[in-house]
Amino acid sequence: MFDTVATGGTFDILHKGHYTLLSKAFEVGKTVIIGVSSDNYATLKDKKITNDYSVRIRNLKKFIEEEFNKFNYSIYELNDFYGPTVLTRDVQAIVTTDVTKGNCIKINELRRSKGMPLLEIIVVPLVEDQQGKVISSTRIREGEIDINGKKLTS
């Protein structure tokens, strides 16, 4: 158990993959800092988003309350992938997926250069549907699957 862990994402259309990521963060952290991509940063990353930042935050808070009944978290607006992980020594670990693990390694390189302790990197697997394809907001937005990865009939 870590005192403070960080995790992050765009959190546009909340789905089973987000549940897995947040579940691990709440499991290993007494306090969780959740970085949420700003609209500008999401656009910079070529993310197509359905909901603007304020809606994504409101939906995320409701999701956490309903799914986890947790209040030991804070939300930080991300304008880059570093977020608060390079601003405070308090963060001890970061929960990520294989897709963004490379960013966590860069975070640790910057922390090392600043004389900060390195973060423990905790990788959770991407959640797949029954066909073995990754559940994503894009696939949900396009009407291919629902938030649990169930294929929608066309």
Phi, psi values for residue 136, rounded to 5°: -145, 155
147 within a domain of the structure (yes/no): no
150 within a domain of the structure (yes/no): no
The per-residue pLDDT for 127 is 96
Burial of 142 (0-12, 13-18, 19+ CB in 10 A): exposed
124 within a domain of the structure (yes/no): yes
Q: How many domains does the chain have?
A: 1
- The segments of the chain whose pLDDT lies below 70 read 154
CA distance 83 to 99: 17
Q: What is the pLDDT of residues 130-142, one digit of tens each?
A: 889 999 998 999 9
40 within a domain of the structure (yes/no): yes
Q: Count other Cβ atoms within 10 Å, centred on residue 85.
A: 26
32 within a domain of the structure (yes/no): yes
Inter-residue contact 122 to 24 (CB < 8 Å): yes
The per-residue pLDDT for 130 is 86
| Nearest residue to 21 via CA among 132, 96, 74 | 96
152 within a domain of the structure (yes/no): no
The CATH code of the domain that includes 58 is 3.40.50.620
pTM over 0.95: no
CA 14 to chain centroid? 10
What domain range is 38 assigned to?
2-141
148 within a domain of the structure (yes/no): no
53 within a domain of the structure (yes/no): yes
The per-residue pLDDT for 154 is 59
The per-residue pLDDT for 27 is 97
The per-residue pLDDT for 48 is 86
